[in-house]
Amino acid sequence: MRFSRIASAAPLVALAAAAPNERTFAVLRFNGDGFMTEGRVDPIVNPGELSAHHHGIMGGSNFGKTVNKEDLLDSKCTTAKIANDKSNYWVPTLWFQSPTNGTLYKVPLWYMNVYYFFEPTDDKVVAFPPGLKMLVGDPATRDPPAFGGGTNLVKNDKPIQPIQFTCPRVDNNAPLYPANSNGKTAGMADPNNKGVGAGFPMVECDGFASPLRQDIHFPSCYNPKAGLDDYENNMAWPTEENWKQNCPEGWIHVPHIFFEVYWNTPLFVNEWSHDGTSQPFVFSNGDATGYSSHGDFLAGWDVDTLQTIIDTCNAGDIGMDKCPNIPGGLNTDNDCHITLDDDSGLANSRVAHDGFQKLPGNNKVTGWGKGGVSGGSVAPPADESPVNPANPAPSKASSGGAAAAVPFKAAVAKEPKASSASPAAPATTEAPASPAEGGADGDMKTVWDVVTVTELTTEFAPEATAPAKREVHDHMARHINRRNRRSS
């Protein structure tokens, strides 16, 4: 199998200049291992105080409980590959709840991408003003979306539905959800794409290089009269006519951004029954349905840099970092991390842990996620020992109610040298072999060390040993084909 690469930056400029009436886009990728930080902090919804639930955050280091208009521009570092992007991008963290005893384990981030789409429009698409705050999704809901598992991103006769899950599988004919699900006890499939849907899937997402993926689209019309901080009223979805997306008069057309959040769910593949009727994952807000999936964005771009990318670069899946002549250049820092001041005990936690009896913030697990029973799960009795997914043997409970130190151990995983559309392969799970390696009798902490390599090369491999086909991850079909998206 042959993987090609773009030979020079020149075609990128030509594509953007030649297609002003078509969508162009560029994918923003991130450096480092995991989130820039984690914690119960949300300067959009809960400025100056603790957030109701735990988040994982990418981007600029000036993130905190309070972020004012241009604070992010002074960040000392960023995880974005573009040096002048100090924006923050965040989502609720994902947890695995043991079907055996209810113990909760934080699922590591596998990696995250943010697509910047520049839609065909009669408007001028302009860079985000620094300090713009956006929230998509409803953290409080446990209700199924209005019209099934599909999406809708423009104003028409359907409700806006910007959030889904993608679940590639080795057996791509296996259904993600029970047949004819109405969303009350399980999620719902997208009628136009059997690999995606609303709500947590009921099967293991085991496709090549693609674990469970959280998909979140953001609106692209900004109302300057509402202002930067009014996240409930300052953004709207465009209308579409003659294949062009336009904003209301007086509003500002900004890029349409889309979060792809990959979670390392294969780490738990052997710890739950893939029976097609239940699933074990829960968001940090206590949602076991997945319907409350949501994302936040706080703009920290150097305006000239982003405007240059909007106007000149159609890098597509190969990445925004391949755009020519980026003001400020690329970011080479692979260790941008901060620690947040919160009471979760998990701030910036990249160290393997044993599990907890409660979510940070003491959020109760609710929804049909576990066994299809409303109300979620019940904490195990005090005398029942938690089970570590990497080592099913029971361990003694500590005085704090958490399991004794039997850390997970994840293999270092690197993205295969393939086309840039292929993400990193899922990590494998290994049981600790000895105390020296952090085994059950040792005292060594195991640290997640997930590395994403994005170098593009041209490689050849004999057909007999070609890598397994990666299943559903067709961005051209999912996010570029205008007709399919309009009818979904």
Per-residue confidence at 373, pLDDT binned at 50, 70, 90? very low
Q: Which domain holds residue 223?
A: 1-488
Given a cut of 90, is residue 454 above it in pLDDT?
no
Given a cut of 90, is residue 225 above it in pLDDT?
yes
Per-residue confidence at 13, pLDDT binned at 50, 70, 90? very low
Given a cut of 70, is residue 351 above it in pLDDT?
no
Given a cut of 60, is residue 450 above it in pLDDT?
no
Report the mean per-residue pLDDT for the chain: 76
**Mean pLDDT, rounded, for 427-437:** 32
Given a cut of 70, is residue 233 above it in pLDDT?
yes
Residue predicted with more confidence, 405 or 291: 291
Q: pLDDT at position 398, please?
A: 28
Residue predicted with more confidence, 322 or 458: 322
Q: pLDDT at position 172, please?
A: 82
Per-residue model confidence as pLDDT tens digits over 158-199: 899 999 999 999 888 889 999 889 999 999 999 999 899 999
Given a cut of 60, is residue 47 above it in pLDDT?
yes
Q: pLDDT at position 445, please?
A: 30
Q: pLDDT at position 157, please?
A: 82
SS3 letters across the chain: CCECCCCCCHHHHHHHHHCCCCCEEEEECECCCCCCEEEEECCCCCCCCEEEEEEEEEEECCCCCCCCCCHHHHCCCECECECCECCEEEEECEEEECCCCCCEEECCEEEEEEEEEECCCCCCECCCCCCCEEEECCCCCCCCCCCCCCCECCECCCCCECEEEECCCCCCCCCCCCCCCCCCCCCEEECCEEEEEECCCCCCCCECCECCEEEEECCCEECCCCCCCCCCCCEECCEEECCEEECCCCCEECCEEEEEEEECHHHHHHHCCCCCCCCCEEECCCECCCCCCCEEEECCECHHHHHHHHHHCCCECCCHHHCCCCCCCECCCCCCCCCCCCCCCCCCCCECCCCECCCCCCCCCECCCCCCCCCCCCCCCCCCCCCECCECCCCCECCCCCECCCCCCECCCCCCCCCCCCCCCCCCECCCCCHHHCCCCCCCCCECCCCCCCCCCCECCCHHHCCCCCCCCCHHHHHHCHHHHHHC
Q: pLDDT at position 355, please?
A: 85
Per-residue model confidence as pLDDT tens digits over 282-303: 999 999 999 999 999 999 999 9
Per-residue model confidence as pLDDT tens digits over 87-101: 999 999 999 999 988
**Mean pLDDT, rounded, for 111-136:** 97
Q: pLDDT at position 93, please?
A: 96
Q: pLDDT at position 35, please?
A: 96
Q: pLDDT at position 386, please?
A: 31
Q: pLDDT at position 186, please?
A: 93
Q: How many domains does the chain have?
A: 1
